Amino acid sequence: MEIEVPVVIVGAGPAGLATSACLNKLSIPNLVLERDDCHASLWRKRTYDRLKLHLGKDFCSLPHMPFPSDFPTFVPRIHFLRYLDNYVSRFKISIRYNRSVESAYLDDINGKWRIVVKDTASKEDAVEVYVAEFLVVACGENNEGYVPRVEGLEGFEGEYLHCSKYFNGRDMYGKNVLVVGCGNSGMEIAYDLSNWGANTSIVIRGPVHFFTKEMVFLGMTLLKYLKMENVDKLMMLMSKMKYGDMSKYGLVRPKDGPFLLKKKGGTTPTIDVGCVPLIKRGEIKVFSTISRINEGKMVEFEDGKDGEFDIIIFATGYNSTVLNWLKDYEGLFNGNGMPKPGFPNHWKGENGLYCAGFSRRGLDGIAFDARRIADDIRMTTSARDLPETNFAGLKLLQK
Ligand SMILES: Cc1cc2nc3c(=O)[nH]c(=O)nc-3n(C[C@H](O)[C@H](O)[C@H](O)COP(=O)(O)OP(=O)(O)OC[C@H]3O[C@@H](n4cnc5c(N)ncnc54)[C@H](O)[C@@H]3O)c2cc1C
């Protein structure tokens, strides 16, 4: 089966949904292909239960639909899913679920994208081919959990998992659990584990900024009015006043301010939901980088310390997997599956190729991308009508 649609969007996470909504607002037909059986699968299936949006709701809404006024400032995961469900119905977003995009390449003859898709819900994984003038890659920069190489990990006699498989610590009571990574996920999971009664430790391998979410909210608001340099100074002062010098507990702050570091593409500040006070009270132990795993469950660290752990949870980031299926990617992506141009020019490639959600700027970045992509497609197509056959193809899909 071959189906022609003006715009194909790969992925029904927030970025794909936002782009589709912006296109629908401009009456540009488009279709979202999603490999899972639901939209926002990351938020539904691959995040921990206690997760709330780390940033205030003013910085996280998708285009054309603010969060409801009765939602809390820091939106819980379940509320966010409800918001996304409403977003899909309100903007009448067309999604084909269980469609795993296996490859996409430019057809030399007509200059359009051919997108080859496996229908994973059909008995024999039926193949469909979509033909589109515009292809929007929205399959997520957080697509695949990244677990670093650790010497001896294959022989570890405990259990290890990536944080995308951690939901809560219900089964970890009394166990020795090591969380690797001190970003938002690592710190929050460590806090959660400790609350569930696990003997929790965390690996913190380098300097990191830590703030309460209220401080970050204030900082982001002030950035609208003050110079970044001044906001950074204020942020660091607030953190010192709240937490004091944490270096003796293993938490060292970077020299550069949090917003400058973020701008430079460095470490994102960590939002503390309660982990830092537990570290201070000694309820969560801090270790340096793992050097190797020895026999059984023994983990050795670079500073010479060691410890025995039942479970290791890697909160060590994610990889982009776009190059697994996108063949003619050079016009936009580098070999790591991230855009070659830096922000704010990262969203547009050549030959009708775009990406949404690859700026490392969360939901705010996604809203930025979606609006620009839709406007750009509108500008490209405004000089002419979209071909009749495209609309026919779309109707065929909607049957
Ligand atoms: C734990 C966690 C917490 C976060 N909290 C915040 C926050 O508080 N605030 C904030 O601004 N940002 C946050 N982010 C960052 C970012 O906003 C989210 O990751 C967001 O979900 C990214 O949306 P996305 O649509 O780009 O990607 P995703 O949500 O990952 O969606 C991509 C979709 O593409 C689908 N897909 C992938 N490959 C294929 C394929 N080959 N064929 C078809 N479909 C495919 C996937 O199934 C998925 O549904 C968080 C991220 C994580 C991991």
CA-143 nearest atom, ligand 1: 30
Cα of 46 vs centre of ligand 1, distance in Å, is 10
pLDDT in tens, 342-359: 999 999 999 999 999 999
pLDDT of residue 387: 54
Q: Are 163 and 315 in contact (CB under 8 A)?
A: yes
Domain 2-143+320-398 sits in CATH 2.40.37.10: no
Q: What does 130-196 look like in DSSP terms, one character per residue?
A: EEESEEEE-S-TT-EE-----TTGGG-SSEEEEGGG---SGGGTT-EEEEE--SHHHHHHHHHHHHT
Q: Are 175 and 196 in contact (CB under 8 A)?
A: no
**Which tokens sit at 129?**
């081919």
Counting residues of the chain whose pLDDT is more than 90, the rounded percentage is: 88
Looking at residue 253, what is its pLDDT?
Answer: 95
Our mutation pick for probing the ligand 1 site, out of 117, 363, 364, counting the most ligand atoms within 8 A of Cβ, is 363
Domain-by-domain residue ranges, the chain?
2-143+320-398, 145-314
The answer to whether residue 389 scores a pLDDT higher than 50 is: no
Q: Is 363 in the pocket of ligand 1 (CB under 6 A)?
A: yes
SS3 call for 200: strand
CA 122 to ligand 1 center in whole angstroms: 25
pLDDT band at 203 (very low <50, low <70, confident <90, very high): very high
Q: What is the mean pLDDT of residues 252-258?
A: 94
Question: Can you give the pLDDT at residue 391?
Answer: 47
Mean pLDDT, residues 190-199 taken together: 98
- Check residue 268 and give its pLDDT: 79
State the average pLDDT for the chain.
93
Residue 385, pLDDT score:
59
From the list 215, 249, 205, the residue with the least C-alpha distance to 235 is: 215
Q: Which residues are CB-contacts of 350 (< 8 A; sequence separation ≥ 6)?
A: 331, 332
Amino acid at residue number 254: P
Q: What is the pLDDT of residue 390?
A: 45
Cα distance between residue 396 and residue 5, in whole Å = 10
Taking each continuous run of H as one helix and of E as one strand, the counts in the chain are 10, 21
Pairing of the two strands 159-162 and 210-211: unpaired
Q: How far apart are CA 258 and CA 215, in angstroms?
A: 12
CA–CA distances in Å: residue 337 to residues 213, 348, 366: 30, 14, 17
Domain over 145-314 is classified CATH 3.50.50.60:
yes
- Please give the average per-residue pLDDT across 290-318, as a whole number: 96
Contacts of 132 (CB under 8 A, 6+ apart): 4, 5, 6, 7, 8, 112, 113, 115, 352
Bridge partner residues of 52 (DSSP): 76
CB of residue 145 inside a 6 A radius of ligand 1: no
Least confident of 26-40, 258-272, 276-290: 258-272
Task: Give the pLDDT confidence score for residue 171 in this predicted structure.
Answer: 96
Which ligand 1 atom minimizes the distance to the CA of 99?
Answer: 43
Distance 27 CA to ligand 1 centre (A): 25
User: Ligand 1 pocket, 275 CB below 6 A?
Assistant: no
pLDDT at site 386? 58
| Percent over 70 (pLDDT), the chain | 95
pLDDT digit string (tens) for 121-166? 998 889 999 999 999 999 999 889 999 999 999 999 999 999 999 9
Find out whether the beta carbon of 138 lies less than 6 Å from any atom of ligand 1: yes
Residue with tokens 């500040």: 269
The lowest-confidence range among 26-40, 323-337, 376-390 is 376-390
Residue 349: count other Cβ atoms within 10 Å of its Cβ. 20
Q: What is the pLDDT of residues 24-81, one digit of tens each?
A: 999 999 999 999 999 999 999 999 999 999 888 999 999 999 999 999 999 999 999 9
Whether 2-143+320-398 shares its CATH topology with 145-314 is answered: yes
- Find the DSSP H helices in 52-107: 77-90
As a whole number, mean pLDDT of residues 231-236 equals 97
CB 205 within 8 A of CB 289: yes
